[in-house]
Every structure is written in structure tokens, then in C-alpha cells.
Chain A
Amino acid sequence: MEQQLEEVLAEIAARQDTVGALLANRQGLCLGTKGNINPNVSGIGMAISEQVAKLEPNTTVPATICLYSGNKRCVIQKDGEITGVIFKQQTAASATAASN
């Protein structure tokens, strides 16, 4: 089971601009991390996804939450039992590539 989670985390961490990623269970406990991310973020990440789930409770497809701060982004998505939190930071190189 852990191997599958680690594979998913490795896949997320390999994406452009990703600083770190973690997965949390429905209690907000950290199931695994990859990259530069504090495992303690799992609790607040879970709390945010639970809060947003109250916004449109009848929606079947879960929402993706994105917090922006300068060139940094925190992406949170809940999918069933598991919540994913991804920290992203746009580098100068990726910003140039995006504008081309």
C-alpha cells in the first residue's frame, strides 16, 4: 500500500515547479511526504479541504483549492478518504517558459 502512495507522491513531485507534496488521511494524519514540505501541514490541509466541502455539499467531484502568495501556490484536493497537498513555487526559468 505504501509503495503505491510513494509512487503517486514521486509522480507529483516530478511535475514542474513542485516544491513538495503530502498525502493525509481523513483524520488529518500524514500518510507520506515527498520533497520540501512539513508533515504537520497535513492537519491544516485536511481542515481546509473539509471546510471547502461544506461550500457545495451536493457536488460529486471534489473541488481543487489553490492559495496564491507571490510566486508560491499551495494546491489542496480531497479525493474520498485522502487529501493531497502540493506546494509549488514558480521559478524564473519556468516563468520565462510559460510566457513563450
Chain B
Amino acid sequence: MDREKLIVSNQIGYLILKEDGAVLESGGDLKNDEHSANVIMGLLNLTESIDESFMPNSSCERITIDYEQHYYSICMSNRRIYIVKISKSQNGVTTTTSSSSSNSVYNDASDTGAVLA
């Protein structure tokens, strides 16, 4: 199995996009996930002009989208958009399902094996 790129610890998926939204690299839960890429490109277009007096246009340097058990962190560097889906629990295993970790969607060895290794 290919070792997937590890951007941060506890990562469960990642996408690297070009400025026009084209997927350059992907892995884990977000492997070939063009739907998420399109939604996030739409979000980035919206966040460019939230309120000029509070945040100058296009000054937003990082975005997080926070869910109960995971969050997405989005930032731009070197004309690339990095999207990382990160588990909130240690080693990608949710605390509520730690007793039956084999059932956890965050512990799928085929997707996150490289992260856990």
C-alpha cells in the first residue's frame, strides 16, 4: 500500500487543490473527493468578501469547519489550497467508540493505515 502524505497528525483525509479548484493530490477519506473540493472552492469564493471593515477582502488566512468528531482545516500556501480532515480524538479513534475501535469509521486501516503507522 502506498504511504499517504501525512500533513498533520490525526489526519483522516487530505486534498491539495490548484487555485482553480483542480485536484492535485488527495488521500484518506477525501481520496478523489471532487464534491468536497467543489464545495470548499465555493466556500473560499464566498469568504473573500465577508466584511471589508472587519476583515479586509481576501485576508482570510485559515478556515476551520468543526464537526462533533472531526474538523476540516483549510489554508493556502504556494498557490495551492490545502484541505485536511482531522480527527479530534487520539490516533484517529473516537473516544466514544474506543472499546470497539474496529467498527470506527476513523480507524479504517485501508484509509488511515499510513497515518496511524
- The answer on A and B forming one complex is yes
A-B contact count (CB 8 A): 77
**B54 to A68, Cβ gap below 8 A?**
no
Indicate if the CB atoms of A61 and B60 lie closer than 8 Å: no
Interface size of B by Cβ–Cβ distance < 8 Å? 25
Stretch at the interface among B5-13, B63-71, B100-108: B63-71
Interface of A is mostly: mixed
Give Cα A55–Cα B85 distance, bound, in whole angstroms: 12
Residue B109 interfacial (CB < 8 Å):
no
Most chain B CB within 10 A, of A37, A45, A52, A64, is at A52
Q: How large is the interface on A (under 10, 10 to 19, 20 to 34, 35 or more residues)?
A: 20 to 34
Given known A51-B43, A51-B46, contact A69–B60 (CB-CB < 8 A)? yes
Given that A51-B42, A52-B43 are known contacts, is A63 also in contact with B53, CB under 8 Å in the complex?
no
Which chain A residue shows the least CB distance to B56?
Answer: A69
Q: Are B55 and A67 in contact (CB under 8 A)?
A: yes
Interface of B with A (CB < 8 Å)?
36, 39-40, 42-43, 46-47, 49-51, 53-56, 59-68, 72
